[in-house]
């Protein structure tokens, strides 16, 4: 089955700096890679996702890159702000996470943005 590794487990940056979180996956058949942000007391919220037919996707200060050959994908946050502080999870599945594929999650990265 799929196995997702996520690094680092904790990340501390100064406000305005960039943050990068990396994930690797094991199943070459996986084709959907979402990223979730979890704030204290809340469930994970989808922030961006990418499918295997795309190498990069950007949404304002957040971008995700995918290298299918190497089986790794990364989350990039630019111009970090204190409200970006949260736990971020990567995940992988065989479809878009619907009925034919279950999401397998990484262990999470606790991001702290210092003002």
Q: Which are the contacts of 74, defined by CB distance < 8 A and separation ≥ 6?
A: 20, 21, 22, 23, 64, 65
- Closest approach, Cβ 1 to another protein, in A, equals 10
Q: Segment contacting another protein (CB under 8 A): 21-29, 66-74, 75-83, 95-103?
A: 95-103
Which of 19, 66, 75, 106 contacts another protein by CB under 8 A?
106
Q: Does 43 participate in binding another protein (rule CB under 8 A)?
A: yes
- Separation between Cα atoms, residue 82 and residue 112, nearest integer Å: 8
Q: Quick count: other Cβ atoms within 10 Å of Cβ 41?
A: 5
Structure-token pair, residue 37? 């942000």
Q: Tell me whether residue 36 is exposed, middle or buried, using C-beta atoms within 10 angstroms of its C-beta: 0 to 12, 13 to 18, 19 or more.
A: buried
Which of 23, 25, 36, 77 contacts another protein by CB under 8 A?
36
> Among residues 9 and 67, whose Cβ is nearest to another protein?
9
- Closest approach, Cβ 63 to another protein, in A, equals 17
Binding stretches for another protein (CB under 8 A): 4, 32, 34, 36, 41-46, 49, 89, 95-100, 102-108
């Amino acid at each position: 089955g799929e196995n997702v590794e996520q690094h680092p487990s904790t990340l501390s940056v100064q406000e305005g700096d960039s943050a990068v979180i990396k994930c690797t996956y094991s199943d070459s058949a996986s084709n959907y890679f979402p990223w979730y942000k979890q704030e204290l007391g809340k469930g994970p919220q989808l922030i961006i996702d990418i499918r295997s037919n795309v190498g990069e996707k950007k949404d304002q200060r957040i971008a995700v890159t995918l290298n299918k050959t190497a089986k790794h994908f990364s989350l990039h946050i630019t111009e970090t702000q204190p409200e970006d502080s949260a736990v971020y999870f990567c995940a992988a599945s065989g479809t878009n996470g619907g009925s034919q594929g279950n999401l397998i999650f990484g262990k999470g990265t606790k991001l702290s943005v210092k003002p």
